[in-house]
Amino acid sequence: MHDIRAIRADPAAFDAALARRNVPPMAEAIVAFDAERRQALGALQEMQARRNALAREIGQGRKQGADTAALEAEGTALRQEMEALEGIAARAEADSRARLESLPNILDPDVPDGADESANVVLKTWGEPPRQNFPARQHFELGEALGLMDFAAAAKLAGARFTVLRGALARMERALGQFMIDLHTTEHGFEEMAVPSLVNDAAVYGTGQLPKFAEDLFRTTDGRWLIPTAEVPLTNLAAGEITPEWRLPVRLGALTDCFRSEAGSAGRDTRGMLRQHQFRKVEMVVIAHPDQSDAEHERMTRCAETVLERLELPYRRVVLCAGDTGFGAAKTYDLEVWLPGQAAWREISSCSNMRDFQARRMNARSRATDGKTLGFVHTLNGSGVAVGRALIAVMENHQQPDGTIRVPEVLRPYMGGNRAIGAVAAS
């Protein structure tokens, strides 16, 4: 959500900022609706004062036995005028809010211009793609050959974009999630949280999924929403709260199932488990003072990079351009991991600074130690990382010529000491 006062102060600058996202000018209409609302509210205040005065005059007149019919008629007419003005103010407020809700966040000045992902900028690369002297196979080829990845069984149970994992691969998926949340809580200072997978309208609105992205979510028959990421419940823990300044930054982490409808992804990544309706992810969320959010963004991204380094996975850090940055983000770093089976870099983590965009929607504020309210906090979120995609990356980068998969050293304590995953024994 945007600050209407800032838009009133410099509408041209607001339109210029959103033009980087290819959004047409909106400031004039927003300011006009806001002016109509404020004018109606001002008139209402004057009428309310007159109505209060009339009530006193009528009361005094009745005590004195005077004829108050004219005063009462004026009061009735005034009440009708006030109801009409309240309707005007409410409509103007709704129109202004609807436009504000539909507009993406203002980008940071250092976000590169560009229309799509082709304009994203690679900032660093870590590791080398494995030099495999055999044809690299994709994860689904490896998993099916091992007898540990069953897409037919998943389709029977739930349809497309689901996967059933068996045996050692199921254990490795669990191991990855445990390793990540352990790393972030024991070394990176995040507090582990267990949060609901079902949330209400207010929570999904607060983080920016509603109303614009409802089709990307799954909704239950009683009106709740399945979380697309733990960002939603974790960030909303600050909703309506005033957090003492001394507590900031608040760093929260959770390993949860996530659910996405993948609307608009028809035909993309239909084979394998790269793009699923249900997947697990470790999410990092930070509630920060505005002066801290830049440093927290760098820190959060580095935490996600550490996961990939410990798993011995080549990756690169990319800053997203204006046309590829998400709706609520002011700046986003993507971490892309190398997948030998695809011979391509694929996103495995996205870390974003939302600044006060979400905080305004959910009324999340901070108070200084002297008792003065500072204003809105900044919120940040990042994948630390997507478990399913990490499993894919481990399988493809650590595949062996005989079709087995080497277990990265950091995962072996979670895998009973096993150093490799082999084919399941035939029954």
Q: Is 223 exposed, middle or buried (0-12, 13-18, 19+ CB in 10 A)?
A: exposed
Q: Give the count of beta carbons closer than 10 Å to the beta carbon of residue 164.
A: 17
Strands (E), 138-219: 149-150, 164-165, 191-192, 198-199
HSE-up of residue 196 (Cα within 13 Å, Cβ side): 11
DSSP for 265-325? -TTSS-STTSS-SEEEEEEEEEEE-TTTHHHHHHHHHHHHHHHHHHTT--EEEEE--TTTS
Distances (CA, A) of 164 to 34, 151, 159, 269: 53, 6, 11, 17
Longest dimension (CA), the chain: 106
DSSP for 347-389? EEEEEEE-TTHHHHHHT-EEE-TTS-EEEE-EEEEEEEEEHHH
Q: Is 225 exposed, middle or buried (0-12, 13-18, 19+ CB in 10 A)?
A: buried
**What amino acid positions are annotated as catalytic residues?**
260, 275, 347, 350, 389
The total number of residues shown for the chain amounts to: 427
415, 172 contact by CB (below 8 A)? yes
236, 283 contact by CB (below 8 A)? no
Residue 278 tokens read as 């249900």
Helix (H) or strand (E) holding 124: strand 121-126
Q: Is the dihedral of CA 201, 206, 207, 211 positive or negative?
A: positive
β-bridge mates for residue 317, sequence order: 124, 335
398, 409 contact by CB (below 8 A)? no
Q: Give the count of beta carbons closer than 10 Å to the beta carbon of residue 256.
A: 24
Rounded to whole angstroms, how far apart are CA atoms 136 and 88?
65
DSSP for 375-426? EE-EEEEEEEEEHHHHHHHHHHHTB-TTS-EEPPGGGGGGGTT--EE-PPPP
